[in-house]
Each structure stands twice: as C-alpha cells, then as structure tokens.
Amino acid sequence: MTTTSDRSTTAPDRQAAVDAHYREAAERIGRTASDGCCTGACCGDATSLGYDPTDLAGLPADASLGCGNPYLMAELRPGERVLDLGSGAGLDVLLSARRVGPDGVAYGVDRLPEMLAVARANQAAAGIGNAVFLEGSIDGVPLPDASLDAIISNCVINLADDKGPVFAEAFRLLRPGGRLAVSDVVATRPLPPWLRRDLAAWASCAAGALEVGEYRDGLQAAGFREVEVEIASPYTAGSIVGLASAYIRARRPETGG
C-alpha cells in the first residue's frame, strides 16, 4: 500500500535519480532560488509558503527546498527535541532550533554528505548552536527509541521508494504523545503509469506521491492516530494532473504504542 513503484524501473534506479538531483541542487544553492524538490505551483520561496519574515531574519535565503511549512504545523515549545526527516539545506532545522531554545535540540537527517555540508555551513552562518545534522536515511535514523517530542518533514517522504519503513521509523523515534507534522506532495487521483516510470519525475517529487487515502492508511498501519491529511494547493504542470501539496498531521498514542 505504501510502495509507489513500477516494474520497468528499479528501486536503485529511483534512488540514484533522486541522489543525483539533490547533489546537483547542493552545488547550485546560492545561485538560484528554484532548486527545491518540485517546481511550479507546488513549491515557492519561504515567505510564500507561510514562513514569517521575522523568523527568517538572519537565516540564509537559500536554505529552503520544501513545499510547505511543517515547522509552523509542529507548534514547537521551548525545551523540546525535534527531528527533520530529509533536512536538506537546513531551514526547518534552524528555525526549529530557535523555537525550542537552548534547553532543546533540533536534529536534521540527510543521506547526502553534500547537502549536509550546505546545512552545516548555513548553521555556522546563522550562529545557531543547538542544531545537529546527522548523516543517515529517513528510514534508519541514528537516534534512540522514543527520544523525540516532534518530527517534521518537508517534501521528502514522497521520495522514498517504500514509505512504510519511514512511517515506522518516525513512530519508533517519537515518545508516546509525540507528534508528526509533514508537508508533502500527494496524489489526489491515481497517477498514470508513464509518470510512475519517469525517473526525473521521481526526483522532482511527482512520481513517488502517495494517494491521500494511502498516506492516511500507511500512517495508521504504523501505529499513528489522529491522522489528518489537508490539501494545501493543487499542482499542475503541463500534462501532470492529480498532484497537490498537503499538510499531514499525526500523533503517537500516549498508550498502547
């Protein structure tokens, strides 16, 4: 249910396409503002995605690669521990670090050393000390069980070949009562086979999108409750239809998980 693949391409093919896209993005950051995962109506600059210009003060303008604002959705509080799955250039981690303050910590995990180098440079430029960027995959994060109050992610989970292990990993990492706040691309109708086969579409956050019901069911299967999937804005580009950016919220139950 949470696998979005096509037999004419393989998981290594898709992962290689995604990695190549983001390695190139890491190299280009600072020279263009359009290096996010997706293009057109789905993504925008940080202010157009709902980030407060006051919150962005002192942060590098090139630190956003997403399609929404999970940082705002997470309603972080001082002293909390938060993780960004697929932290990219680091904007949501740095904003979260400011919000949780010196008694809290904001982690980011990314699989690409090139992107981690960008994020750490952005952290140094912003002078933020309570952010930690980890190398790892979003379905294998080097942090202990039940160690986080909140998990966020911005236009990344759709890139995973199998979302089930990602949802399970998020559940493992959250403490009972912990919350998940995600901005992601979803499919509002079945996507055509040609799109699922297109490696460039995988890298640009289109081909791997789960349908809304699949996203909800996948989170519930992992143990999450209070699952909400809210469509934020539709995405249209050429012949691609049936995609939208969405806000996804869920919580690990206080008991029984």
Distances (CA, A) of 38 to 5, 21, 85, 199: 19, 11, 17, 13
CA angle 136, 141, 147 (to 5 degrees): 145
Mean pLDDT to the nearest integer, 122-130: 95
Predicted confidence (pLDDT) per residue in 74-94, tens digit: 999 999 999 999 999 999 999
pLDDT of residue 212 exceeding 90, the answer is yes
Per domain, the residue ranges of the chain are: 11-56+66-251
Closest to 223 in 3D by CA, of 184, 163, 178, 168: 168
- At 105 the pLDDT is 99
More confident residue, 234 or 112: 112
- At 50 the pLDDT is 61
Range with the poorest average pLDDT among 32-36, 45-49, 116-120, 133-137: 32-36
Q: Which two tokens stand for residue 248?
A: 């996804």
CB 230 within 8 A of CB 196: no
CATH number for the domain formed by residue range(s) 11-56+66-251: 3.40.50.150
Q: What percent of the chain has pLDDT over 90?
A: 61
Predicted confidence (pLDDT) per residue in 174-211, tens digit: 999 999 999 999 999 999 998 888 999 898 888 899 99
- At 229 the pLDDT is 97
- At 204 the pLDDT is 85
* Residue where the block lists tokens 């909390």: 80
Q: Can you name the residues that pair with 124 across neighbouring β-strands? A: none
Predicted confidence (pLDDT) per residue in 21-72, tens digit: 888 988 887 454 444 454 433 455 554 456 677 777 777 655 666 667 888 8
